[in-house]
Amino acid sequence: MKLPAFRVYHFLLVIPVFFFFSWLESQGEHVGRGVFPIAYGLPSEGGYGDQVRVFLIADAILAEGGYAEDQVRVGDWFCQRPDAANKEEEYREERLGNVKEAVKWYRKAADQGYAKAQIKLWEIYKEGVFVDLPEGIPEDHKEAMKWLRKAAEQGNHRAQLYLAVSFDPIRTVGQDKDEEEALMWYRKAADQGNVGALEAVGYIYSDPRYQEMRDAVGIPEPDSMGRGFKNYLTAYAYFSLSVFCDDNPGRQFGADDRNQVVLKMSIKQLNEAPHAYQDLLKQFKEKKQKALLAEKEFSAAEEKALIENAEAGDASAQKSLAWRIYSEWVENWNSGYPLGERERVEAGGFMVWDVEEALKWWRKAADQGDAEAQYILGVINDDPRDGETPTAHAWYTLSSFHGKGESDHNQGPISRRDQMAKGMTPRKLEEAQEIYEELLKQIEENKKKAK
């Protein structure tokens, strides 16, 4: 089932979000180091600017909504945030603070099972960050391996390669040497076309340095006539497949390694080698095609169920649908599509993802008393061009009334509403109260109708 197609002006959200940042900048010393204030520290020069600030705020909205991909992106922003301090000690402390903030966001995404975030945590914990500082993040091998294994077990080929390397007795200096585990994870990553893993399997079957590992896993020594006759064929096939999968035209490792194997092969092996490669290539393509079809079928079924549940009045589904539409719009913008709309070919037709459609579903959830949806509507209506908006103030109050609390970064509805109220006139505050009471009345009526 396709999502409804609507044509709208994306500025309905862009302009309020942009001016929200302008207000935030003016209040920067009061709001602390939450998600939105990341943009406060971005200079207008050096590749950063107003457009980047708005992208960041869009990512922050999605991150607060629980989107793992955007939580990782916010973490990356903290890691990459320019440091203003000049002194080395001040720089290191500032940098450490940013990395710690990034870890919080990576962990939020990792706890949802997002493999990219799990790999980020592995990278941080495997070596630590500024370990010589009192507040530094110490190296934690157990924590690092925990996250790496989680990512690998979900099928992330990068994590599978890194995990294999950590077990590989030739390539690791750590404490986890295990030949069978290494070969298993190399093969899993190789099955997905990971070039490093394909080359590693080729080495295992042909490189003299891996003889001890071959002995441990029951692979005979490669030769041209005996029990190890097929080893060179296997190595040739894996090196050839690594060349096929490598999208870096300047990289020659797989081709060079294949040529070294060719020099060791007998005439009979040379005749059979192309067939070995074609068999492996066929298996690889079949596995990849099955995986793509399964993913597409699951995605289509999931989308259909989500839309049906949202249309049936499920507030959770309505929020999820809104986040999905909104995230598609953000991706559209970040990918350089025209701001007005995005057309994409899907299931034989064109689909337009827009902000107004996302707002519609957030509003449906908010009208049922959903605190998170009400909070998002408060953020989106935060437009200080004509003074602080009573509508945003009302949504923040409703969100708090229905149970939305403050986040770790003091970025909840009460803090936002109270900060906003400082710049509001008595008339604006009265108007906000009137809007709040009217919205609350509508929500209570909706609840009665639903019973």
User: What pLDDT sits at residue 35?
Assistant: 37
Assess whether 230 and 266 both reside in one domain.
yes
Residue 16 lies in a domain: no
Looking at every residue in the chain, the average pLDDT score rounds to 76
Can you tell me which residue has the tokens 């602390």?
32
Which whole-number Å values give the CA distances from 90 to 46, 81, 93, 102, 269, in the listed order? Answer: 22, 15, 5, 18, 63
Which whole-number Å values give the CA distances from 439 to 74, 125, 155, 318, 396, in the listed order? Answer: 32, 47, 46, 19, 12
* Number of separate domains in the chain: 2
Q: Which residues contact 65 (CB under 8 A, 6 or more apart)?
A: 319, 323, 372, 376
Assess whether 375 and 307 both reside in one domain.
no
Give DSSP secondary structure letters for 352-401: E--HHHHHHHHHHHHTTT-HHHHHHHHHHT--TBTBS-HHHHHHHHHHHH
Question: pLDDT tens digits, residue range 338-373?
Answer: 333 333 333 333 333 466 788 889 899 999 999 888
User: What pLDDT sits at residue 232?
Assistant: 92
User: How many C-beta atoms surround the C-beta of residue 249 within 10 A?
Assistant: 6
Assess whether 271 and 345 both reside in one domain.
no
Assess whether 354 and 442 both reside in one domain.
yes
262, 279, 312 — which closes off a domain?
312
Question: pLDDT tens digits, residue range 178-213?
Answer: 999 999 999 999 999 999 999 999 999 999 989 989
Residue 53 lies in a domain: no
Assess whether 264 and 363 both reside in one domain.
no
Question: How does strand 349-352 pair with strand 343-346?
Answer: antiparallel
Assess whether 165 and 299 both reside in one domain.
yes
Query: By 3-state DSSP, what share of the chain in percent is helix, strand and coil, each rounded to 5?
Result: 70, 5, 30
Assess whether 391 and 366 both reside in one domain.
yes
| pLDDT tens, N- to C-terminus, the chain (451 residues) | 333 333 333 334 444 444 444 433 443 332 222 334 333 333 333 344 444 445 566 666 667 767 788 888 888 877 765 444 445 556 666 777 778 888 888 999 999 999 999 999 999 999 888 777 777 888 999 999 999 999 999 999 999 999 999 999 888 766 678 999 999 999 999 999 999 999 999 999 999 989 989 999 999 888 777 788 899 999 999 999 999 998 877 677 889 999 999 999 999 999 999 999 999 999 999 988 888 777 777 677 888 888 899 999 999 899 888 888 877 766 665 554 433 333 333 333 333 346 678 888 989 999 999 988 888 888 777 755 545 588 889 999 998 888 877 655 446 788 878 888 888 888 989 999 999 999 999 999 888 887 7
User: What pLDDT sits at residue 441?
Assistant: 92
282, 312, 342 — which closes off a domain?
312
Residue 375 lies in a domain: yes
Assess whether 358 and 443 both reside in one domain.
yes
Residue 338 lies in a domain: yes
Residue 123 lies in a domain: no
Residue 79 lies in a domain: no
Assess whether 307 and 332 both reside in one domain.
no
3-state secondary structure of 345: strand
**Plot region of 155 (φ>0 → left; ψ -120 to 50 → alpha; else → beta):** left
Residue 64 lies in a domain: no
Assess whether 283 and 405 both reside in one domain.
no
Q: Which structural domain, as residue segments, surrounds residue 268?
A: 155-312
Largest CA distance in the chain: 93
Assess whether 260 and 335 both reside in one domain.
no
How far is 57 from 64, CA to CA, in rounded Å? 10
Residue 27 lies in a domain: no
Assess whether 245 and 365 both reside in one domain.
no
